Every structure is written in C-alpha cells, then in structure tokens.
C-alpha cells in the first residue's frame, strides 16, 4: 500500500439497477402515493449517510427503469439501505436486475498528462453532470502477462486520447475479488456526443485489443428520486 492510499480512505462503490414490476401500475392510486412517500423517505434518509444519486433509464433500456449510484466507506450501509428500501410500499414492487460492486484505488499507471487525476481516483466526487454512462469491464488474461512497461506504453496512448475530451469525466473503480467484473467504468458528461466520439477513438487503441468484455453498457440521466417516482 502506498503512503497516499494509507492517508486517504478508499470508498466502496455500487451501481444498482432496478425494474418496476407491472403490478405496481395496477395498484390503487392511494396505495401508490403512500408507497412512493415511504420510498422517498428511505432514499432521503440514506442520502444523508452516504453519497447517493439517482438516475433514470426509462425509455433508454428495456430491462431496467432507474439506478442508484451509491458511494460509502462502509459496505454494510448498502445492505441496510436495500433492506429498508424493499420494505417500502414502492420497494415491494421493484426488482434489482443488475448490481455492480467496486472500490476506489489509485491507478497503477502514471498519468503523464495530468498526474493529479490519478491521485484523485481514491475518492469519487460525482453528480456535477447530467449524463452517466456505466459498464463493467474485464481484460484478457494476456494483458496481465505483459510487462509493466508494455502496459504503461499502451496506457499512455489511452490517456492521451482521453485528454482530447475534457468534457468527459472518467471514474474508474476496481472489483477484483469483490464482484464478477474486474473494473466498473463510469463516465460523466453533459455532452453524450463527446462520450460516443471518445469510445469510438479508443476502439482504435492497442490497449483495446486486450478487452474481453465491456457490456452491458448503460446510458442514464441524472434525476432526483422524487421525480423518478413520478414516472410510475
């Protein structure tokens, strides 16, 4: 562990996607109103205990309707919030369809363009952008058999391309041993076209040939949870 990691507490990060079941829409409006109020109270309670942001995927993904981005130094608080949320009148009609767990960590690769960005990866300060693009990421085993110098050279090119799109903020989190994927990548921006162009250009980098899996990919829109509830 580096001195930087010892000084800065790392965060647990969770991206949890939900689907609202059809039975919810057939409930009495009075029960719906009560259930939404219970769910919003639970959300607001835990928003005071951790970083908690809500995003909608309605009309964007067919298998999920909204997502919670949860960030905390405590893993247990994710379990506590989930248990509380599912007991609400609204939560009883919600099914989690994807959930990705990761942690922050200082990058192994030196960012020669912006070294301070590498240090900041031990803490995530999200929520300044309207759009969030999330996907799990797994590299081929051959990547880890390369020398550090070979990997750094390819990452130099990767970082150079990313630097051409300052409107896109990358949040890299690590899942080794915590979940099925190796990383979870989350890109924040106010310009979706810039993210699309960035991904297209990165496909041409040598490092991309060592990607095993980077799907499913989620396009989400930041929205207050009480407004998300109004959609149902």
Residue ranges of domains in the chain: 3-102, 105-219
134-145 average pLDDT score: 96
Structure tokens at 98: 């994807």
Q: Sign (positive/negative) of CA torsion 176, 178, 181, 186? A: negative
- pLDDT > 50? residue 117: no
Residue found by looking up tokens 């240090």 in the block: 119
Q: Sign (positive/negative) of CA torsion 160, 161, 164, 168? A: negative
Give the Å distances, CA to CA, from 124 to 69, 128, 178, 200: 11, 11, 18, 25
Cα dihedral 170/42/36/20 (nearest 10): 50
Percent of the chain with pLDDT over 90: 84
The pLDDT tens digits of the residues spanning 55-97 come to: 999 999 999 999 999 999 999 999 999 999 999 999 999 999 9
The reported pLDDT for the residue numbered 210 is: 96
Structure tokens at 116: 């301070």
The mean of the pLDDT values for the chain is 92
The reported pLDDT for the residue numbered 4 is: 47
Cα dihedral 52/53/59/64 (nearest 10): -20
The reported pLDDT for the residue numbered 116 is: 47
Gap between the Cα atoms of 70 and 15, Å rounded: 6
Same fold, 3-102 and 105-219: yes
The pLDDT tens digits of the residues spanning 196-218 come to: 999 999 999 999 999 999 999 99
Kindly report the CA angle at 129 between 100 and 33, in degrees rounded to 5?
70
What pLDDT band is residue 7 in, cutting at 50, 70 and 90? low
The pLDDT tens digits of the residues spanning 14-46 come to: 999 999 999 999 999 999 999 999 999 999 999
What pLDDT band is residue 120 in, cutting at 50, 70 and 90? low
CATH of domain 105-219: 3.30.70.1030
The reported pLDDT for the residue numbered 108 is: 77
List beta partners, residue 53: 69
Please provide residue 61's backbone torsions phi and psi, each rounded to the nearest 5 degrees. Answer: -115, 140
- Residues in the chain, overall count: 232
What pLDDT band is residue 106 in, cutting at 50, 70 and 90? confident
The reported pLDDT for the residue numbered 127 is: 83
Please provide residue 38's backbone torsions phi and psi, each rounded to the nearest 5 degrees. Answer: -65, -45
The reported pLDDT for the residue numbered 107 is: 82
Give the Å distances, CA to CA, from 111 to 131, 152, 164, 199, 200: 25, 9, 14, 19, 21
Q: Sign (positive/negative) of CA torsion 66, 224, 228, 77? A: positive
- pLDDT > 80? residue 119: no
CATH T-level fold of 3-102: Alpha-Beta Plaits (3.30.70)
Cβ-based neighbours of 85, under 8 Å, separated by 6 or more = 39, 42, 43, 91, 94
- DSSP character for 169? E
List beta partners, residue 186: 134, 171
- pLDDT > 60? residue 3: no
């Amino acid at each position: 562990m580096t001195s930087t990691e010892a000084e800065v507490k790392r965060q647990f990060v969770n991206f949890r996607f939900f689907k609202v079941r059809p039975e919810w829409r057939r409930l009495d409006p009075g029960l719906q109103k009560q259930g939404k109020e219970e769910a919003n109270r639970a959300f607001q309670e835990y928003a005071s205990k951790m970083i908690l942001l809500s995003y909608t995927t309605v009309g964007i993904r067919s298998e999920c309707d909204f997502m919670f981005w949860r960030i905390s130094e405590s893993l247990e608080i994710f379990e506590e919030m989930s248990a509380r949320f599912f007991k609400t009148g609204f939560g009883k009609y919600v099914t989690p369809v994807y959930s990705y767990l990761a942690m922050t960590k200082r990058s192994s690769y030196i960012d020669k363009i912006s070294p301070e960005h590498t240090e900041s990866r031990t803490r995530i300060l999200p929520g300044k952008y309207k759009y969030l693009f999330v996907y799990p990421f797994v590299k081929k085993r051959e990547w880890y058999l390369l020398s550090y110098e070979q990997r750094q050279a390819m990452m130099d090119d990767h970082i150079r391309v990313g630097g051409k799109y300052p409107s896109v903020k990358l949040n890299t989190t690590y899942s080794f041993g915590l979940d099925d994927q190796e990383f979870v990548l989350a890109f924040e921006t106010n310009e979706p076209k810039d993210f699309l162009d960035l991904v297209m250009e990165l496909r041409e980098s040598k490092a991309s040939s060592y990607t095993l899996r980077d799907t499913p990919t989620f396009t989400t829109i930041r929205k207050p949870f009480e407004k998300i509830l109004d959609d149902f």
